[in-house]
Structure 1
């Protein structure tokens, strides 16, 4: 492991050139027209953190792009030790290194787990609205979504555990997906809420898939608690999924970690041919190691910037577009906007694309509870975000 890198100029999240952003090959800026500002997919607009850039350059410089020493199910995961160390240091949880497996990304891992543990027609419970690729994976695999609605509660969002348990029992549902921190609402579940979910899982003998990819992006005083950290019973029935890709903006490197609690599932995974589910690549592993081992200062600076942008969204909407409901997220760089009172004739995503030249994620794609909402990604410079919000406010004003 290299020596940690000090905070340097790469932590200047305000110095963004739109011409540079538009030259990038990523889908966020490529998919939209040159007159449109994108605030949809969860990529950030910032350059790669210096420790990650250095790790990639070092790997390429030594010509180390041959076959790696690992594959998904043969030998130890190259990320088992960095993952378990990070969980212990940040979240006071000590995972089992021998339970760690690798995947290309979190959605792929969810698909593999569903393939190995469920059958077509089975119900999969999860909170809704929810991340569209997860919902699409369930339906395209012939399973059915059992929604547990997240409802407005005070300044945030909450679910009804009694209702969830009744519906789980009634449907004979044996699989629960928990996205925490939640996408798209930004909710960070409390220990009490997680204990309620763990109890439901235990009483109904459920497998739990815990997508915790946004764990590093929780704003104080909110703190992420890994579901599997609550005790040995829930750990033994939970597949914990995470990745450095969201917090460190490296989704294109396709590298995720699964801590597989159920023994039968580990056996099923290990019983497949070594490359059956693909293997993580060298650069993805090196970038993840660098992010987790050396990226702390960069991440701390990022969180300060995102917190300021989160407040910028709140202030701008309250002052100029109060008809848009907004509860600042407890985690993530995503704002879940309630546009139902605007009275637009079209979906909010379509409305803001056509009238404001701003690309948001349409709430309808997030399943039950998403109609009338839109998701805004505020991980950009304050100046670009201000222009996005200004365009949206003007579009709303013109519609009155």
Structure 2
């Protein structure tokens, strides 16, 4: 399998995105979900061609992105998408908010499952709804699963929707098809909506059995709405394009009720890049997945050798590692200690859930093996020099 090599640090530090401008130059920045790989050549060529023809106006609606996504979804995700059931918008967060605004009333409960992508907390409140936390069952040692009984209890108590993270960020879980089908049945019993964030779907490792929510059953298609994008798999977050995808008349009614402006939030470059990614980016994506596979396993080896007290479960998807640093004695927020004493920036665990995130961090391993090795060495050196409690 061919591999895509990540850029070296001297090249990366010329980038002007948040990941490379927020921290001092001596810090290894590993918290932001942005990859260090060079842009896929077909995407770069499409964007350069757009500049050459001064094609910088408004994006021409959803159809082009939707039609490019259809064969990509069928081939790589096993998902038959109707392009007429796709409405684009600026990014996944925008899509989630707009769906929640349609399927909840102000003050309604919306279930999320910590440890979870931190903006989910804000997305729910932005939609004028109320966060209902149902933490994942299990943990690093035994693996995780959705707490279906807890989710059903929340629906029985009045929650009207759930934001599903499929695959799950930060733990890298690919939920089993059977559990997703059971979740759909729970939603059907209570007449609620499952809004599935599937932006990391193309980053599920081959053989993990990744399942798009709308493919699992009639109940899922009736009660589910998916929001996804090329942004994470192809490193296009700054170009602003995402899709809201439905599979039933009930879901279609939600999309049709969106304000007119929602679709116009997609950028022209986001549209152009997404089409190129879905049509011509597969070879590049395969190479990235192979490199990520190497790195997720390398991280396990590095931790075992240099920081054996740190607990880590190799993720089935994403390029994110959820690490339990409690054994190091660095407190509830070990990311702060790591930044100060190791000059390694990591995602703050408590942002993913105040209780379940204590003592944890999120690490982005979509980098060179050398950067990953340097980060672990720095953490190990900081642990060795830290005063014993």
Fold match by TM threshold 0.5: yes
Whole-angstrom distance in 1 between the partners of 2:195 and 2:185: 15
1:364 corresponds, among 342, 350, 353, to 350
Report deviation, 1:67: 3.8
Instruction: For residues 332-391 of structure 1, give each alpha carbon's deviation from its aligned partner in whole angstroms, at most 9, with x where no partner exists.
Output: 000000112222245111010011100000010012411211000000111111111110
1:43 corresponds, among 16, 34, 58, to 34
Gapped runs of 5+ residues in structure 1?
A: 1-6, 71-75
Whole-angstrom distance in 1 between the partners of 2:164 and 2:110: 11
Report deviation, 1:276: 4.9
CA contact (8 A) 1:353 1:359 kept: yes
Whole-angstrom distance in 1 between the partners of 2:223 and 2:146: 22
Give the aligned partner of residue 303 of structure 2: 317
* Stretch of structure 1 that moved more, 372-381 or 117-126: 117-126
Whole-angstrom distance in 1 between the partners of 2:369 and 2:270: 30
Whole-angstrom distance in 2 between the partners of 1:27 and 1:34: 13
Instruction: For residues 117-155 of structure 1, give each alpha carbon's deviation from its aligned partner in whole angstroms, at most 9, with x where no partner exists.
Output: 212221111211111111122234442222221122754
Summarize the alignment of residues 146-165 of structure 1 with structure 2, pairs less than 5 Å apart. 146-150=132-136, 151-152=138-139, 155-165=142-152
Report deviation, 1:60: 1.9
Summarize the alignment of residues 147-296 of structure 1 with structure 2, pairs less than 5 Å apart. 147-150=133-136, 151-152=138-139, 155-169=142-156, 171-261=157-247, 263=249, 266-267=252-253, 269-271=255-257, 274-276=260-262, 278-296=264-282
Report deviation, 1:19: 2.4
1:377 corresponds, among 354, 360, 364, to 364
Give the aligned partner of residue 3 of structure 1: none
Whole-angstrom distance in 1 between the partners of 2:262 and 2:314: 41
Whole-angstrom distance in 1 between the partners of 2:110 and 2:267: 31
Report deviation, 1:159: 2.8
Whole-angstrom distance in 2 between the partners of 1:87 and 1:66: 28
Whole-angstrom distance in 2 between the partners of 1:392 and 1:20: 24
SS of the residue 2:5 aligns to? coil
Distance 1:155 1:307, change over 3 A: farther
Whole-angstrom distance in 2 between the partners of 1:174 and 1:68: 33
**Residue 60 in 1 paired to residue 64 in 2?**
no
Whole-angstrom distance in 2 between the partners of 1:78 and 1:20: 33
**Residue 355 in 1 paired to residue 355 in 2?**
no
Aligned length: 384
Report deviation, 1:107: 0.6
**Residue 27 in 1 paired to residue 18 in 2?**
yes
1:13 corresponds, among 5, 22, 32, to 5
Distance 1:271 1:161, change over 3 A: closer
Report deviation, 1:329: 0.6
CA contact (8 A) 2:35 2:367 kept: yes
Distance 1:243 1:68, change over 3 A: closer
Report deviation, 1:258: 0.9
Whole-angstrom distance in 2 between the partners of 1:317 and 1:228: 37
Whole-angstrom distance in 1 between the partners of 2:175 and 2:257: 35
Whole-angstrom distance in 2 between the partners of 1:90 and 1:265: 23
Whole-angstrom distance in 2 between the partners of 1:277 and 1:290: 19
CA contact (8 A) 1:117 1:265 kept: no
CA contact (8 A) 2:184 2:217 kept: no
Q: TM-score, normalised by structure 2?
A: 0.93
Report deviation, 1:168: 2.2
Give the aligned partner of residue 4 of structure 1: none
**Residue 82 in 1 paired to residue 75 in 2?**
no
**Residue 307 in 1 paired to residue 293 in 2?**
yes
Say what the alpha-carbon RMSD is for the aligned residues.
1.9
CA contact (8 A) 1:239 1:262 kept: no
Whole-angstrom distance in 1 between the partners of 2:216 and 2:127: 31
Q: TM-score, normalised by structure 1?
A: 0.91
SS of the residue 1:149 aligns to? coil
